[in-house]
Chain A
Amino acid sequence: MLVAGVDIGNNTVEVALAEVSGDKTVFISSGIASTTGVKGTTSNITGVKLALDNALKKAGIDIKKLDLIRINEATPVISDMAMETITETIITESTMIGHNPSTPGGRGLGVGKTTLIFHLDKVKPGEKVIVIVPKNVDFEDAAAIINGAVSKGVQVEGAVVQKDDGVLISNRLKKKIPIVDEVAYIDKVPLDMLAAVEVAEQGYTIKTLSNPYGIATVFNLSPEETKNIVPVARALIGNRSAVVIRTPAGDVQERRIPAGSLVLFGEKGKTTVDLDEGAKRVMEELERIYPLLDAQGTSGTNVGGLLAKIRSTMADLTGQKPDSIKIQDILAVDTLVQQKVKGGLANEFFAEDAVGMAAMVKSSRLPMEKVAQKIEEELSVPVHIAGVEANMAINGALTTPGTAKPLAVLDLGGGSVDAAYLTADGKVKTVHMAGAGDMVNMLMGAELGISDKVLLEDLKCNPLAKVESMFSIRLEDETVKFFDSPLDPQLFARVVILKEDGMVPLPGNLKLEKIRAVRRDAKRKVFVTNAMRALKQVAPAGNIRLLDFVVLLGGSALDFEIPEMISDALANYGVVAGRGNIRGKEGPRNAVATGLVLDR
Chain B
Amino acid sequence: MGRYDVKPTILIYCENSNMVQIPLKKLREGLEEEGVPWEEKEIQGNAEFLAKQAAEDSQLGIGIGLMSDGTCLLQHSRMPMGSPIMKVMAGADTMENYRVVGTNAARLAKNMPLKWF
Q: Which residues of A contact B (CB under 8 A)?
A: 102-103, 139, 164-168, 171, 468-471, 486, 489-490, 492-494
Contacts and interface: CB of A to CB of B under 8 A. Distances in A.
Contacts of B112: 102, 493
Given A167-B32, A486-B79, 18 more contacts: A102-B34, A102-B112, A103-B33, A103-B34, A103-B35, A165-B33, A166-B33, A167-B35, A168-B29, A168-B32, A468-B111, A470-B79, A471-B78, A486-B78, A490-B116, A492-B113, A493-B111, A493-B112
A168 B78 contact: no
A471 to B, nearest CB: 7
29 contacts: A102-B34, A102-B112, A139-B29, A164-B33, A164-B103, A167-B32, A167-B34, A167-B35, A168-B29, A168-B32, A171-B32, A469-B111, A470-B76, A470-B78, A470-B79, A486-B78, A486-B83, A489-B85, A489-B86, A489-B114, A490-B114, A490-B116, A492-B85, A492-B114, A493-B111, A493-B112, A493-B113, A493-B114, A494-B113
B20 interface: no
Contacts of A139: 29
A228 B114 CA distance: 39
A168 B30 CA distance: 9
Contacts of A165: 33
Nearest to B108: A492
**What are the 4 A-B residue pairs with the smallest beta carbon separation, nearest first?**
A167-B33, A493-B113, A489-B85, A494-B113
Contacts of B114: 489-490, 492-493
Interface of B: 29, 32-35, 76, 78-79, 83, 85-86, 103, 107-108, 111-114, 116
A493 B113 CA distance: 5
A165 B108 CA distance: 19
Nearest to B112: A493
A469 B78 CA distance: 10
A107 to B, nearest CB: 13
Q: Which of A139, A164, A490 has the most chain B CB within a 10 Å cutoff?
A: A164
Nearest to B34: A103
Nearest to A492: B114
Given A471-B78, A486-B79, A489-B85, A168 B113 contact: no
A477 B40 CA distance: 42
Q: Which of B33, B86, B116 has the most chain A CB within a 10 Å cutoff?
A: B33
A490 B79 CA distance: 15
Contacts of A492: 85, 108, 113-114
A494 B85 CA distance: 15
Contacts of B78: 470-471, 486
Given A470-B76, A471-B78, A486-B79, A493 B35 contact: no
A166 B32 CA distance: 10
Nearest to A508: B113
Nearest to B35: A167
A490 B114 CA distance: 7
A60 B113 CA distance: 50
A183 to B, nearest CB: 15
A150 to B, nearest CB: 21
Contacts of B86: 489
Contacts of B103: 164
B68 to A, nearest CB: 25
A469 B111 CA distance: 7
A486 B83 CA distance: 10
Contact of B107 (A166, A471, A493): A493
Contacts of B32: 167-168, 171
Contacts of A494: 113
B78 to A, nearest CB: 6
A517 to B, nearest CB: 21
A486 B78 CA distance: 8
A166 B34 CA distance: 10
Contacts of A168: 29, 32-33
Nearest to A495: B113
Nearest to B28: A168
A421 B54 CA distance: 70
B100 to A, nearest CB: 10
Nearest to A168: B33
Contacts of B79: 470, 486
A117 B112 CA distance: 32
Q: Which of B107, B113, B116 has the most chain A CB within a 10 Å cutoff?
A: B113
Contacts of B33: 103, 164-168
Contacts of A471: 78
A15 B116 CA distance: 47
B38 to A, nearest CB: 14
Nearest to A181: B33
Contacts of B34: 102-103, 167
Contacts of B83: 486
A53 B7 CA distance: 67
A468 B113 CA distance: 10
B105 to A, nearest CB: 12
Contacts of A486: 76, 78-79, 83
A395 to B, nearest CB: 52
Nearest to A138: B29
A168 B26 CA distance: 12
B96 to A, nearest CB: 10
A486 B82 CA distance: 13
A494 B113 CA distance: 6
Contacts of A103: 33-35
Nearest to B83: A486
A106 to B, nearest CB: 12
A432 B113 CA distance: 46
Contacts of A164: 33, 103
Contacts of A489: 85-86, 114
A165 B26 CA distance: 12
Contacts of A167: 32-35
